[in-house]
């Protein structure tokens, strides 16, 4: 059997296993979705959102792109964020990076990546914002890991720049924004424990869209 056909066999087995647990599994899911989480992660095939969080279908709204970027002019991620915050009413927004990220590594190279250049430039901008800290790390692997973390921090900051996020946050104190990093070597998620309240305070003079 070709690998392509195997996927359909896998699907049938998955359907059967779900129905064995709950005969109404799909009927219930088809009615509505009310996920508590929005997950923004890397497109990397080794970081499957639902699986690493142990969440079932219907429990997490997912957006993935190269290096988990929240680009202010990317209509795709901006639409996902607005829909999740305004219509789904998610309680938590997670930006999840991962060590060993190819996108972050590429952005550390003095190399022309063609059509990828404008996307990767967002990561180069993160490097520039934190250049003093990063240049002080002599070990290249440690510097790479730190850029992965700082990229997550800056994407979390991009999330709180959205008017829809600010509006709900000032009204109900939610959603809360979390920065995580996944480790490919051991499968563990690390919470960066970002102090997003402090970050919001720090940038509010510039980015606040909330009218009193
Ligand atoms: Co990646």
The residue written with tokens 């087995």 in the block is 13
* CA pair distance 119, 151, nearest whole angstrom: 13
pTM: 0.96
How much is the pLDDT for 179? 98
How much is the pLDDT for 210? 79
46 as an active site residue: the answer is yes
User: How remote is the CA of residue 75 from the centroid of ligand 1, in Å?
Assistant: 20
Identify the three-state secondary structure at position 141.
Answer: helix
For residue range 54-89, list pLDDT tens digits in order.
999 999 999 999 999 999 999 999 999 999 999 999
Options 63, 96, 98, 178, the catalytic residue? 98
Res. 149: pLDDT tops 80: yes
How much is the pLDDT for 198? 95
Domains of the chain: 1-30 (no CATH), 32-200 (3.40.1050.10)
C-alpha distances out from residue 17 to 20, 25, 50, 168, Å: 5, 10, 17, 39
For residue range 170-187, list pLDDT tens digits in order.
999 999 999 999 999 999
* Residues 118-142: b if buried by 16+ CB within 10 A, e if exposed: ebbebbeebbeebeeebeeeeeeee
For residue range 8-19, list pLDDT tens digits in order.
999 999 999 999
User: How remote is the CA of residue 172 from the centroid of ligand 1, in Å?
Assistant: 33
């Amino acid at each position: 059997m070709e690998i392509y056909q195997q996927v359909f066999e896998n699907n049938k087995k998955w359907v059967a296993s779900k129905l064995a647990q709950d005969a109404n599994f799909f009927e219930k899911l088809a009615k509505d979705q009310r996920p508590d989480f929005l997950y923004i992660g890397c497109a990397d095939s080794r970081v499957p959102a639902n699986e690493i969080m142990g969440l079932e279908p219907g429990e997490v709204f997912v957006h993935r792109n190269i290096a988990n970027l929240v680009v202010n002019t990317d209509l795709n991620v901006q639409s996902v964020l607005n829909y999740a915050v305004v219509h789904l009413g998610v309680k938590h927004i997670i930006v999840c990076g991962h060590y060993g990220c190819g996108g972050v590594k590429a952005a550390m190279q003095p190399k022309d990546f063609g059509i990828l250049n404008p996307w990767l430039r967002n990561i180069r901008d993160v490097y520039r914002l934190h250049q003093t800290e990063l240049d002080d790390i002599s070990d290249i692997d440690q510097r790479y890991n730190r850029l992965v973390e700082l990229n997550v921090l800056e994407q979390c900051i991009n999330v709180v720049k959205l008017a829809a996020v600010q509006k709900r946050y000032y009204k109900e104190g939610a959603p809360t924004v979390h920065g995580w990093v996944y480790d490919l070597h051991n499968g563990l998620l690390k919470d960066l424990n970002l102090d997003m309240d402090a970050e919001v305070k720090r940038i509010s003079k510039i980015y606040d869209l909330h009218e009193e």
